[in-house]
A and B are shown apart, each in its own frame.
Chain A
Amino acid sequence: MTLKEYIQGRRKGKEANRIERQAMNDPFMNDAIEGFDSVEGNHVSALERLEDKVLRVRNQHRRVISYWAMAASILLLIGFGSFFLLQQKPETRMPEIATVLPKKITPSAEEQKSAVPESTARTTISTKAQTLAVASPPVSPEATINKAHAESIPEPAMAPVQAEVPAVNQVRMSRMLENKVPGLQAESMAQPSNKLQGKVVDEKGEPLIGASVKIKGTNVGAVTDTNGHFQLSQNVSDSAKLIAGYLGYENREVKITDKPVSIQLQPDQKTLSEVVVVGYVPQKKKTVVGSIVKIASGEFGEKEFLEYCKKVGAKNLCGEQQTEVKVSFNISKEGFPVNVTIKKSTCMAASREAERLLRSSPAWSKKDRKVTMTISL
């Protein structure tokens, strides 16, 4: 038995025992088994891919030959193709068929015309016209009867026949469409889609925009669009789970199925009591995607703002120097800093950062006043 078979799940019997014992004395084997056990996924297909890649190099010289063969066959194809195309040119029959159709119909109308003078009874003609009119919806039967009585006879007989032609065309069109549409559908169905699709909705069934969806245990994820839909193009094992999350909602795990999943999230009662401020912080990418600073609702003034700066402000903006920015600004009636003026600053980057912090600051408790303070970063 090989290691490959072992990781495929054949872990019973003496052969498996042999491999396990070998692993005891062979750190290489031991590490490999540990690796396969610790990470979930389809390892067998990965191995086959890799083996394919490594062994493919061997066939390079054969490939050159196959390229030549491909080029030759393409040339042949072009040659034959152009030959047939030239042959087919005189046989453009399509317009002919189109012209035949009206011809076929008009004789019947002429027949009727010629029949009219012979027959003395007007009523029979009008009934004929009527039957034709029934077949063609655009002309109402009553109107044709009236016309048949009032005017010369051949005319009404013509009218329904002419009306019939577009009707026939319509039927043909609709038939063609009928045949075409399922064909198109079949084509789109035939393409196997590896994409995992679904929708995230809130407790009322409304779509959640920008909700995150992740495959459990991996870094593969997606964000829902404006309709709450998401798409993951990753091949995943059937046993994998999806985790959906949204701000203010409880995370939810669902099993992955072939069909598009609809994930309903319930509001998280706990988070409603807090104000959540999202700020931009230079941090290592691997630790967080975005950073969230939570500030409990309560007082917010100079002291709290300085703390806020410490938490979210960028550090070491002016090199080694201690960074200080003296600013003055007004607190608006809504509680936000306005009319910011920088009085003194260690460097340009620091003043920009101070302005940014003031702009993104939470609402201040004491409103409608002037503040002058020194922010140290």
Chain B
Amino acid sequence: MKIKLTYKDWSDEELLQQYVTTSRQELLGQLYSRYIPLVYGLCLKYLRQQEDAEDAVMQIYEELQRKVVNFEIANFRTWLYSVAKNHCLQILRRTQGQLFQEIDERVMESDGFEHLIDTNEDIEKDKALNYCLDTLSAEQKVCVVHFFFDDWSYADIVEKTGYALTKVKSYIQNGKRNLKLCMVKILDC
């Protein structure tokens, strides 16, 4: 019981370390269960079938038991992401032969832009930001402001503005990109 109580306080890497040294199944189970929602969602995305995704989640778990021991893992989360993704892609390759990997805008743009806004104390940057916000189209501006400044969720914005969900997402994507380009331009000058 003592161990059980402390599981929650352990970090991923601590659990992993313990598992590698003691090879107690429960430790890996605890660790993996934290990521089941993420892994399952990922599998759903690639496999598009509930049953297949569920099977894949269990297969990945079995795969982990073998792999974890052989690899030096610095960051479990990112490592698991690549393992899970590869597993799904392999399944697809086996069943489809050909594979078209869509290039995802959001993945390509994953960077710390919002960081800039949140911790921004620089007056110059503030000014530039305000100026750039006005250069955006009306919809983009509304969505970006609500999302990044007012902390509204997508669902909130859809409800308040009446735009479709996909539109809201693309306004935020494009608005963010335009803002970034504009900021870089102004601050470099």
Contact = CB atoms under 8 A, between A and B. Distances in A.
Interface of A: 2-4, 7, 11-14, 16-21, 23-36, 38-39, 41, 43, 46-47, 49-51, 53-55, 57-58, 60, 219, 286
A36 B156 CA distance: 19
Given A36-B44, A57-B26, A11 B155 contact: yes
Nearest to B61: A54
Contacts of B152: 17
Nearest to B157: A17
Given A17-B151, A35-B42, A50-B57, 14 more contacts: A3-B41, A7-B37, A21-B114, A25-B114, A27-B107, A29-B38, A31-B41, A33-B41, A36-B41, A38-B48, A41-B50, A46-B40, A54-B29, A55-B30
Interface of B: 25-26, 29-30, 32-33, 36-46, 48-50, 53-54, 57-58, 61, 77-78, 80-81, 85, 95, 104, 106-107, 109-112, 114, 147-148, 151-156, 159
Instruction: State the main secondary structure of chain A at its contact with B.
Output: helix
A286 B154 CA distance: 36
Instruction: State the main secondary structure of chain B at its contact with A.
Output: helix
Contacts of B156: 12-13, 16-17
A46 B45 contact: no
10 pairs of A and B residues whose beta carbons are closest in the complex: A32-B41, A35-B45, A16-B153, A35-B44, A58-B26, A11-B155, A35-B41, A28-B81, A14-B151, A17-B151
Interface centre among B41, B77, B104 (most CB of A within 10 A): B41
B77 A28 contact: yes
B37 A47 contact: yes
A54 B33 contact: yes
A47 B40 contact: yes
A20 B165 CA distance: 13
Contacts of B39: 32
A38 B44 contact: yes
A235 B131 CA distance: 55
Contact of A13 (B32, B81, B153): B153
Contacts of B25: 57-58, 60
A35 B154 CA distance: 17
Contacts of B80: 28
Contacts of B147: 17, 20-21
Contacts of B30: 55, 58
B109 to A, nearest CB: 8
A35 B43 contact: yes
Contact of B38 (A24, A28, A39): A28
Contacts of B26: 55, 57-58
Contact of A24 (B29, B48, B114): B114
Contacts of A34: 41, 45
A233 to B, nearest CB: 14
Nearest to A15: B153
Contact of A11 (B95, B104, B109, B154): B154
B58 A50 contact: yes
A32 B111 contact: no
B155 to A, nearest CB: 4
Contacts of B110: 24-27, 30
Contacts of A16: 153-156
B30 to A, nearest CB: 7
Interface centre among A16, A47, A54, A55 (most CB of B within 10 A): A54
Nearest to B173: A24
Nearest to A25: B110
A126 to B, nearest CB: 81
Nearest to B109: A24
Contact of B112 (A2, A25, A35, A54): A25
Contacts of A53: 58
Contact of A18 (B45, B85, B151): B151
Given A30-B106, A35-B45, A53-B58, A20 B154 contact: yes
A210 B48 CA distance: 29
Contact of B32 (A2, A31, A41, A54): A54
Nearest to B46: A35
A50 B38 CA distance: 12
B47 to A, nearest CB: 9
Given A24-B106, A30-B106, A31-B45, A55 B37 contact: no
